Amino acid sequence: MTTRFDKLGVIIAAIVAYAAFAAPFATLRANRIVPGEARSILEALPPTLGPLLLAVVVVAAVVALLKTPLALRLAASVVALAALALLIGVAGSFLTPEGNSFARISPASGFWLLIFAFTLLLADGLTRLNLSPSARIGVLVVAAAAIGLLLVSGSWNSLSILKEYANRADSFWAEGSKHVTLALGSLAAAVLVGLPLGILCHRVEKLRAGVLNALNIIQTIPSIALFGLLIAPLGWVATHVPGAASLGIRGIGTAPAFVALFLYSLLPVVANTVVGLAGVPRAANDAARGMGMTERQRLFGVEFPLAFPVILTGIRIVLVQNIGLATIAALIGGGGFGVFVFQGVGQTAMDLVLLGAVPTVAMAFTAAIILDALIEMTSTRRREAQPA
């Protein structure tokens, strides 16, 4: 006997049923820190749009539930996500009392669950499509453009998180660029130091265990503890090394955050370099030497290109990890999106926490997709069948 139901579809339909009919769609609060009142889909939207949204999500859930063609499933998920994205903005304006600038409307659990359910459907569909790496980046660009368009068009401006943004637009971009600088800068430093160190560890076997163990130990130090440990040495450097202080090196602030992220980044870079180089076929290495390549020609012409996908995997780990970890830097005055997160926690203003957390997650997610695509491109380029 064959079921006519899609396995994942059953879960998606169950989530949608709960989220659409039992969970609140939006929360209305009198100001940014008081607890809010829940509003269902029908209450949160104008009389025509509420039933329409319900109809859209129910139909999309039925499409997900039954065994339907892939194109239909993708279309259903995209339509449902688009409707949700547009109408949450409408709910924002609809629920905001006329002329009230203190009221805060935020998406509630029902909205997030619906987004989750249809993203699941979309992701499942895209996975089944088995897209090429460049097509995946294309999908990412389209999604980013759609979100960007919604942000620029102002249709979300009535939502709480964007009201927080409106109050802090300048510092948002300043902290954002600090965040990116921290994450990418420490990655760049880790690659500059980690690659040669990895190559050295590969060549000198005696060094390997020692270096990797030391980096492993660093990896196990909790980040806050590492910041604390760095205060003394960096403070000493700042006062005793001429010019260090003018470069911004201090016991607290950006410098220790940068150093900590750099130290955390080293292990994945070095370990993946060692593993990648060790995975180069012995015969290829032997042939390279036997044909008269110098050590340098062999490293750059044979070992490095063959190890590159594995090294890139290490860089991916580091980038995603650093984008997340850089949030902690705010604790010691290092800046970044963490500033909003910790301010928000301090003020019990969840919207402010989200203002820091959402862009961080979005950046990490984007970095992961782009680097995964790059890894696949570099490792399949030589496997792809060439037209004869």
Identify the residue whose tokens are 């594995």: 310
Rounded to the nearest 10°, the torsion over CA 12, 13, 15, 21 is: 150
How far is residue 343's CA from residue 90's CA, in Å, rounded to a whole number?
28
Residue closer to other proteins, measured from CB, 154 or 301 = 301
Q: Does 41 interact with other proteins (rule: CB under 8 A)?
A: no
What phi and psi, each to the nearest 5 degrees, are found at residue 244? Answer: -65, -45
Residue closer to other proteins, measured from CB, 201 or 288 = 288
- H or E element that contains 39: strand 37-39
How far is residue 378's CA from residue 371's CA, in Å, rounded to a whole number?
10
Whether 20 contacts 54, CB under 8 Å = yes
Sequence letter at residue 194? G
Residue closer to other proteins, measured from CB, 127 or 386 = 386
Residue closer to other proteins, measured from CB, 154 or 281 = 281
**Shortest separation between residue 65's beta carbon and other proteins, angstroms:** 43
- What is the token pair recorded at 257? 């955050």
Residue closer to other proteins, measured from CB, 170 or 205 = 205
Q: Does 386 interact with other proteins (rule: CB under 8 A)?
A: yes
Whether 89 contacts 158, CB under 8 Å = yes
How far is residue 256's CA from residue 223's CA, in Å, rounded to a whole number?
11
Residue closer to other proteins, measured from CB, 39 or 298 = 298
**Shortest separation between residue 130's beta carbon and other proteins, angstroms:** 21
Residue closer to other proteins, measured from CB, 196 or 301 = 301
| Interface segment toward other proteins; rule CB under 8 A; list 8-16, 210-218, 316-324, 375-383 | 375-383
**Shortest separation between residue 294's beta carbon and other proteins, angstroms:** 5
- x-marked contacts with other proteins along 234-263 as a string, rule CB under 8 A: ------------------------------
Sequence letter at residue 359? P
List, in sequence order, every residue forming a beta bridge with 66; answer none if it has no partner.
5
**Shortest separation between residue 305's beta carbon and other proteins, angstroms:** 5
Instruction: Kindly calculate the radius of gyration of the chain based on its CA atoms and give it in whole angstroms.
Output: 25
Residue closer to other proteins, measured from CB, 259 or 306 = 306
- x-marked contacts with other proteins along 276-315 as a string, rule CB under 8 A: -----x-xx-xxxxxxxxx--x----x--xx---------
**Shortest separation between residue 204's beta carbon and other proteins, angstroms:** 19
How many residues form the binding site for other proteins (CB under 8 A)? 22
Rounded to the nearest 10°, the torsion over CA 194, 136, 109, 336 is: 30
Question: Angle formed by the axes of helices 254-278 and 205-220, to 10°?
Answer: 140
Site for other proteins in 146-205 (CB under 8 A): none
**Shortest separation between residue 297's beta carbon and other proteins, angstroms:** 7
**Shortest separation between residue 282's beta carbon and other proteins, angstroms:** 8
Counting other chains too, the contacts that 340-343 makes at CB distance below 8 Å and 24 or more residues apart are 340/164, 340/168, 340/172, 340/175
How far is residue 187's CA from residue 192's CA, in Å, rounded to a whole number?
9
What phi and psi, each to the nearest 5 degrees, are found at residue 384? Answer: -60, 140
Residue closer to other proteins, measured from CB, 7 or 206 = 206
Out of 1, 4, 152, 388, point to the residue binding other proteins (CB under 8 A). Answer: 388
Q: Does 375 interact with other proteins (rule: CB under 8 A)?
A: no
Residues near other proteins (CB under 8 A) are 281, 283-284, 286-294, 297, 302, 305-306, 381-383, 385-386, 388
